[in-house]
Amino acid sequence: MSLLVVGLSHRSAPVSVLERAALNVDAQAKLLQDTLAAEPAAEAAVLATCNRIELYADVDKFHAGVAELSTLLAQHSGVGLEELTPYLYVHYEDRAVHHLFSVACGLDSMVVGEGQILGQIKDALARSQELHTAGRLLNDLFQQALRVGKRAHSETGIDRAGQSLVTFGLEQLAGREPVEAWAKGKRALVIGAGSMSSLAAATLARAGVHEVVVANRTLDRAHRLAEILAEGGTGTVARAVPMDQVAAELTRADVAVSCTGATGLVLTAEAVAAGVADRTGAPVTVGAPRVPASSAPSAPHDAAADSDEACPLGLSGDGAAVPRGVGFSVMGEEAVAGMDAATLEQHAAWVDNAPAERRDDPASEADTITALAAAVTATGRVPERRRGPSIVETGNVLLALLDLAMPRDIDGAVHRIDGVRLVDIESLAEASADAPMADDVERVRAIVSDEVAAFGAAQRAAHITPTVVALRTMAADVVANEIARLDGRLPGLPEKERAEITQTVRRVVDKLLHAPTVRVKQLAGEPGGAGYADALRTLFDLDPQTVAAVSRADKINEPTDQNASQTDPNRGRA
């Protein structure tokens, strides 16, 4: 077994990198095909969720495999290899098995103990089966991971330690209130009809929202989800609308959840501002965040500064929104979060032409603008950089937004709109960092360790089986040849005596081989046991081609994916 995993997750990379590296279904398929075409890989599977991207492969060379898989991830994610490399992690053989089993149990999730990852692992397995990129190793690995995850949830209280990302997100939106009290009577808009969106819709219905409106690019899927919700017995009204009705529905919604596979924004800040404008009776604009005077250093009033050309974006302030004398270097990235490239360039030009007395630290400011410009080049928009979510009084929120997509569906700039509350993957990661760990986590870790040892032993034992079969085949050939020689020397030997001699010789050979073959299988299950197969081949001078032929025959006799999915509930699509 030479299992290798190369990936990145919310634990190793910032959300901005995960967002850019996100792979849609087509990109995942192409990555699998290209990985299999690469020389070091014989099997491949991709596990891609909202907070992780991992490429699993059976490789024959470790260093070459790491280099190839890292390069392929960079090529298909669109993030340069040099930029991506610092965020990548690598696990090999037993450590790779341990990692996937931990992921399946929810130990590596953003919300520890969440069970949704099991469905995502099942989807990853099904995709690799459909594309014929998963062989015996990855099929065994992913199916065992599913069993380990189910065992952890059934034998421990890990479910109490965690919850789904949907539930956790809704709790963040609800603030101090219980989700049921917060959601009661609200109108909800759910954008998307995939597994995450369906879970969000069902959770909202159970929480007591009055209405759930489902919007999806494929209207039939939206209708099916709405029908399921309406028949769920919760009393929630459910209906489906096409995607072009999202803007209209946003003006009525109290809460909106979005999780689509779109590569661009589904809800812009302008669309959200328009959605809440009618409720306030006044136009709502998206502007730079206001900085209270207490948060900015005081600066002496300078008459010369009064005559300076004002910042075209109003970031220099007039003493009301921002104190006079506060420049870009004081307000920092928060002042330009959400700007597009053209606007940033306009502001940068104003900063470059500013007199020295208006700028606190020109050198530092130039470095900041350079870094932001690089971010704009990559993403098209300056990333939002806000503090972690704080509990707010929900009564002041006109529209609560939950963005569970990666890359994001909702423009991060909406947090600057009065009356709008946004919770997204980034804020959930910050909020979950301090989440308490349950006592059951240690029990789950023990289960994972036991299962890793059992899986490794089974794989090592399976590795030696072709050698044992080849040895017994050679012994059977020896017996057959000797009986043939006996027939040549004693052609008149009665059939009864001949059969008794044949049976006796076979019993002798079987007894001689029984103890060593049983023992070698036991030893093969231990660490380093693969060497016993080599010893058998050497001691008995077994033909390597015969051993390889047995291995090929085993693979040919494996059940097809379709048949296996009918007999094993852990194989195939969910």
- Residues serving a catalytic function are 50
Q: Which residues face 324 on adjacent strands? A: none
Give every strand in the sheet of 237-242, ordered side by side.
237-242, 211-216, 187-191, 255-258, 399-403, 420-424
Bridge partners for 53 per DSSP: 8, 48
Find all residues with CB under 8 Å of 509, minimum gap 6, and list them.
Answer: 475, 476, 478, 479
DSSP 332-374: GGGGTTT-BHHHHHHHHHHHHTS-GGG-S-HHHHHHHHHHHHH
Separation of alpha carbons 335 and 287, rounded Å? 9
Alpha-helical regions (H) of 114-218: 116-130, 136-155, 158-161, 165-174, 179-183, 195-207
Distance of alpha carbon 401 from alpha carbon 254, whole angstroms: 9
Euclidean distance between CA atoms 536 and 522, whole angstroms = 14
560's tokens: 């097809």
Cα separation, 164 vs 206, whole angstroms: 14
Q: In terms of residues, how long is the chain?
A: 574
**Residue 19 region, left (φ>0) first, then alpha (ψ -120 to 50), else beta?**
alpha
CA–CA gap between residue 570 and residue 574 (Å, rounded): 8
Are 46 and 23 within 8 A, CB to CB?
Answer: yes
The answer to whether the beta carbons of residues 272 and 399 sit under 8 Å apart is yes
Biggest distance spanned by C-alpha atoms of the chain:
128
Give the CA radius of gyration of the chain.
31
> From CA 481, how far away is CA 527, in angstroms rounded?
38
Alpha-carbon distance of 257 to 197, in angstroms, equals: 7
Cβ-based burial of 118 (10 A; exposed 0-12, middle 13-18, buried ≥19): buried
One DSSP character per residue, 442-453 reads: HHHHHHHHHHHH
Measured between alpha carbons, how far is 406 from 428 in angstroms, rounded to an integer? 13
DSSP class of residue 414 equals G
Burial class from Cβ neighbours inside 10 Å (0-12, 13-18, 19+) for residue 553 reads exposed
